[in-house]
Amino acid sequence: MVSELTASRLLSRRGVLWGASAALAGGLFAGSPRRVLAASATHKAKLGAAEITIVSDGVFTLPRSLVLPDKPDADIAALFKAHGAAVEIVAETNVTVVRNGPTLAVIDTGAGPDFMPTLGKFGDRLEEAGVKPDDVTHVIFTHAHADHFWGVIDPLGDGSRWPKAKHVMARVERDFWLVEGIEDKVPAFQKSMATGIQRRLKELATMITVAEPGAEVAPGIALVATPGHTPGHVSIVVRSGSEELVVLGDALTHAAVSFGAPDWRWGSDIDVDVAIKTRKALLDDLAARKVAIIGYHLPWPGLGRVERQGNAYRFVAS
């Protein structure tokens, strides 16, 4: 079971485009998908009695030399061609919001205004979609990398953008980023980001509640350990009735690489060997159980499932 794995502001504040409900395999979501640009879209679906909303924080491009430093161009091109992926590595940022009765949980918060100029859209877009800051009851983090965590800071004030929410992070994740000399414990290109993460964690120290993998942190929402990308990385399991959805964070980051070559090193993983072990175990489980997933960086809106393909896997978008 998954639960047992160890392994710039918008120009206008109106006009958000709402995607139609997604039709996931197994009947988890009803309706037919409508493809829209992530840069202007919000996407809604149902999971049992819960409403799932995916909001784009923006899009950015990753240099292949950074995320696939060990692989020749020919190997990368062959893998990407086999999976129908563009050679340019474009990463979406698909933020998941879960509404279930009185619970309104935000899973990760985007990058905020200080990381990349093409990111930082989530907070404003969520408000444009009708969610006021005080409506959010829970903010749950898969991990503390800037594009998942920095958007929690209120750009117009102190502390969190969602001041009444319970903020939850895995204990191992929080503690890792708070150690002295954190900049020496991450890949070289993440050094300045690491100090920024630590500064923001300290700013939010009194707001963040730590939890352990396996804990239910909101009704129907639980953490599951998926370490490697960061030491305390977790994915989020959302359940409503008999239906289940796994919000992956960065446990699976690219539709060709993570699925088609899970044993390849991904350059932003902190513990490469653990990340590979996690990917393989996660893919095996998700494919066997045909569980619905949302990938933070998978093609917009990130909804789909995992299928076996020969000796590897493929991402089947919904």
* Residues 244/222, Cβ–Cβ less than 8 Å: no
Q: What one-character DSSP code corresponds to residue 226?
A: -
- Residue 65's alpha-carbon distances to 70, 88, 229, in angstroms, are 8, 11, 18
Q: Using CA atoms, how far apart are residues 219 and 209, in angstroms rounded to an integer?
A: 16
Q: Using CA atoms, how far apart are residues 284 and 163, in angstroms rounded to an integer?
A: 39
* Residues 139/103, Cβ–Cβ less than 8 Å: no
Express each pLDDT in 183-242 by its tens digit: 999 999 999 999 999 999 999 999 999 999 999 999 999 999 999 999 999 999 999 999
Instruction: Kindly tell me the sign of the dihedral angle through the C-alpha atoms of 85, 2, 137, 27.
Output: positive
Q: How confident is the model at residue 300 (pLDDT cuts 50, 70, 90)?
A: very high
Q: What one-character DSSP code corresponds to residue 272?
A: H
> Minimal CA–CA distance to 202: which of 223, 229, 181, 175?
175
Express each pLDDT in 151-194 by its tens digit: 999 998 889 999 999 999 999 999 999 999 999 999 999 999 99
Q: In the predicted model, what is the mean pLDDT of residues 20-28?
A: 29
Task: Output the six-digit token pair for 150.
Answer: 């920095």
Q: Using CA atoms, how far apart are residues 127 and 8, in angstroms rounded to an integer?
A: 15
> Minimal CA–CA distance to 168: which of 246, 113, 226, 109?
109
- Residue 317's alpha-carbon distances to 275, 292, 307, in angstroms, are 23, 10, 10
Residue 86 is predicted with a pLDDT of 86
Q: In the predicted model, what is the mean pLDDT of residues 108-134?
A: 96
Q: Domain range spanning residue 150?
A: 2-7+13-317
* Residues 260/269, Cβ–Cβ less than 8 Å: no
Lowest average pLDDT, out of 15-19, 36-40, 48-52, 58-62, goes to 15-19
Residue 31 is predicted with a pLDDT of 32
Partners of 45 in beta bridges: 52
Partners of 246 in beta bridges: 237, 293
Q: Using CA atoms, how far apart are residues 286 and 118, in angstroms rounded to an integer?
A: 31
What's the CATH code of the domain at 181? 3.60.15.10
Residue 67 is predicted with a pLDDT of 95
> Minimal CA–CA distance to 235: which of 299, 167, 286?
286
Three-state DSSP state, 308: strand
Q: In the predicted model, what is the mean pLDDT of residues 249-259?
A: 97
Residue 41 is predicted with a pLDDT of 77
Start-to-end CA span in the chain (Å): 23
User: How many folded domains does the chain comprise?
Assistant: 1
Q: Using CA atoms, how far apart are residues 142 and 249, in angstroms rounded to an integer?
A: 6
Count of beta carbons in the 10 Å neighbourhood of residue 87: 10
Q: Using CA atoms, how far apart are residues 62 and 68, in angstroms rounded to an integer?
A: 10
| Summary mean pLDDT of the chain | 88
DSSP-derived pairing of the beta strands 243-247 and 50-62: unpaired
Q: What one-character DSSP code corresponds to residue 173?
A: H
> Minimal CA–CA distance to 2: which of 223, 202, 211, 197?
223
- Residue 295's alpha-carbon distances to 100, 134, 253, in angstroms, are 20, 26, 7
Residue 256 is predicted with a pLDDT of 97
- Residue 45's alpha-carbon distances to 56, 103, 180, 236, 286, in angstroms, are 15, 16, 42, 17, 20
* Residues 177/148, Cβ–Cβ less than 8 Å: no
Greater pLDDT, 25 or 52: 52
